[in-house]
Amino acid sequence: MSLRTERTWLANGWRLLHFGFLTYLWIGFDDAENTFILLLLLFLLTSLRWRFELPAVFLLPDILICVLYFPYTSVSYYALALPIFEWAQRGRWPFSLSVFVALGFVPFFSGWLLWYFVLALFVGFFLDRYARNLEQWKKEADEQRKARQELERVKAELLEAQRSVSKQAELTERYRIARQLHDHLGHDLTGASLALQAHAYAEDPEEAKSLLQEVKSRLERSTHSLRETVHDATPVAPIGIENLERALLHFQEIDVSLRKSGDLLSVAAYQWSLLEACLKEALTNIVRHSDATAAEVTVQVAGAIVRLLVQDDGTPRENNAQSESGSGLRSLNMRARALGGSLSTSADNGFLLVCVLPLEQEG
């Protein structure tokens, strides 16, 4: 039910109660025909407001009709509670208070009438504040929803940027290694090969010795250049499966075994980052929310996917956090979807986490 519909139903409820009370006064205390006509006119005007969203100025005919019927029926005084309520529930306090104050000068004014007007004013005020609060809550909820959507969009963009940067860094490093091998190692090896060919035709012993020395020098430079290239290409920090092995090495709470298969070198660095985060989250949940004594971690590369499975031998505790409702798993699930993969968990036979990511296809 929308805010406008809910407010309309509450307002219509008060209107029906008001007309029920006026009908009771008419039947019980004043059975004049004039009262029936008064109620009929007021009901027609109220029905128009029920059906259409009319401006507040359209309440003036109600007041005019009630004032015209003052000399004929006392019910007309109680009927003025309706415009007081209508203006109050629309936030038109000056109009409601002006009518309320003006009624203090009519000859029929009594304590019961005063309390009835106060009730109408209070109910109108309550509906007005209720509608304003609902509108504020709805606005805040919309802002929070937009903020969450924006945050998810930014996270997805960051993941895509990380993926792009990782790919660009890989291509840049490949180009650097290829250029270094071509500029240094390739030239020296080519020179050594030509020197060996010239040595086969050399007749002067001194010239042959000089050519052999040149071959030796070029091979030494090539070996040194190759070692430098390999050293520069070797990462200082562990990456890939080594990162997972190091995480398991420092995890001493339960026994954990690791199985791996497939071409692990085909998994990109940013994918290893997500797999490592999934592994740590799974191990943390196992320790905190399960009575497991051992767990098995499997990393498989098959076809065009890489799959991480974490399975323990325990049973989840009550009120555990090993479900996708957890904030950690929700965040990882979103990251996996951003990379075109999926993350799923199960607690049917111990705690199981499965993360599947698609491998990059060589262009």
Q: Which residues pair with 295 in a beta bridge?
A: 256, 312
Inform me whether the pLDDT recorded for 159 exceeds 80.
Answer: no
How many angstroms separate the CA atoms of 158 and 154, rounded? 6
Q: Would you say 18 and 81 are in contact if contact means Cβ atoms under 8 Å apart? A: yes
Please give the mean pLDDT across all residues of the chain.
Answer: 77
Mean pLDDT calculated for residue range 59-78: 79
- Give backbone dihedrals phi and psi of 238, rounded to 5 degrees, phi first: -65, 145
Lowest mean pLDDT among 11-20, 94-103, 137-146, 293-302: 94-103
Each residue of 16-42: pLDDT tens digit? 888 888 888 788 766 577 788 888 888
Strands 305-312 and 342-346, sheet pairing: unpaired
Question: What's the pLDDT score for residue 362?
Answer: 60
Determine the pLDDT at residue 234: 53
Instruction: Assign 5 a pLDDT band (cuts: 50, 70, 90).
Output: low
Which own/partner contact pairs does 301-305 have at CB distance under 8 Å and 24+ positions apart? 301/261, 301/262, 301/263, 301/264, 301/266, 301/267, 301/359, 302/261, 302/262, 304/358, 304/359, 304/361, 305/341, 305/356, 305/357, 305/358, 305/359
Q: Specify the residue for token string 């100025």.
A: 57
Please report, rounded to a whole number, the percentage of residues in the chain having pLDDT higher than 90: 6
The tens digit of pLDDT for each residue in 171-225 reads 777 777 777 666 666 666 777 777 777 767 776 777 777 777 777 777 777 777 7
One-character DSSP codes across 54-118: --GGGGHHHHHHHHHTTTT-THHHHHTHHHHHHHHHTT-HHHHHHHHHHGGGSTT--HHHHHHHH
Confidence (pLDDT) at 354? 93
Q: How far is Cα 345 from Cα 353, in angstroms, rounded to an integer?
A: 5
pTM assigned to the model = 0.45
Residue 309 has pLDDT above 90, yes or no: yes
pLDDT given for residue 357 in this prediction: 92
pLDDT at 307 over 80: yes
What tens digit of pLDDT does each residue of 216-256 get? Answer: 777 777 777 777 666 565 554 556 788 888 888 888 888 88
Q: Alpha helices, DSSP H only, in the chain? A: 3-29, 33-51, 60-68, 75-79, 81-89, 93-102, 111-180, 187-201, 205-233, 241-249, 269-289, 327-338
pLDDT of residue 298: 93
Report the C-alpha gap between 329 and 322 in whole angstroms.
8
Structure tokens at 140: 């805040």
Which 3 state secondary structure label does DSSP give 160?
helix
Domains of the chain: 3-135 (no CATH), 241-358 (3.30.565.10)
Q: Residue 93 pLDDT more than 70?
A: no
In the predicted model, what is the mean pLDDT of residues 86-99? Answer: 72
Nearest by Cα to 80 from 119, 34, 30 = 119
Instruction: Quickly tell me which residue has 């070692």 as its tokens.
Output: 227
Q: At what angle do helices 33-51 and 81-89 cross, to 10 degrees?
A: 10
pLDDT of residue 320 exceeding 50, the answer is: no
